Structure 1
Amino acid sequence: MFGVKSNPMKTVLVVDDEPLLTELLEFRLAARDYNPIVARDGREALARLEDSAPDAVVLDAMMPVHDGFEVLRRMRASEAHALTPVIMLTARRGEQDIVGALELGANDYLLKPFMPEELLARLERLLKDAP
């Protein structure tokens, strides 16, 4: 049927220590029929990965406990999450940070401040292309 999504609801893990940002992303993702779950630091992100098996992750680089680079490193070393699409969403705009994240296995890198519609478009593309 035209306009009806045939895919089941996808779960997206949003990892960021900024409450206003996570609330915004939760709202925007839910409005697009995603199931958003939130982690506020790297340790919580690793726990949510295990108990929710998200279809994709939106990951900040600068967080308490474990930074986003460490979370990404652990994901890519894990058989269960090695292929989970990851978008780094961060204010770290240095070339070394961007290249480092991509070399660690990030699928995309988006700088803050960002446009929510752009993030959603990138996320949709990654989920469409995911195995």
Structure 2
Amino acid sequence: MKARHKRFLLIGIALALLGGATTLVLNAFNDNLVFFFTPTEVADGKVPKGQNFRVGGMVESGSIERLEDGLTVRFTITDTAKTLPVVYKGALPDLFKDGKGAVAQGKMDDSGLFIASEVLAKHDENYMPPEAKAAIDKAHEAARTMKQ
């Protein structure tokens, strides 16, 4: 085999390895990609079926209910236009409270209940995820235009 053919073979192998590595990285990225939705978007059916996603808004006042096992919690997230029932099994963040902002990650079940695998709470009074703030502002605007 000539040196020129060896060089082409090495270049071909290097390109195949690079393509394989790129495929693996993009596949891992796609598996970890999680989209954010509001309760209104969930109610409108805009969420991916059978995939993890995040839903955020405010924890509806008086909706937090701890079940018998002590670890399972039911609560409702709202964007002031629509509400979404959530069930989470695990320890909640210390800042998780009624009327405060929260983001839950998980999947919808067939009955319309959001099964959360992770719950995040805002870290101070002034912070809210930009997507959640925009959704709440949009819901307030829609409610104002409906009243007029």
Q: Tell me the TM-score normalised to structure 1 length.
A: 0.31
Higher strand residue share = 2
Higher helix residue share = 1
Task: Please say which structure displays the higher CA radius of gyration.
Answer: 2
Q: Tell me the TM-score normalised to structure 2 length.
A: 0.29
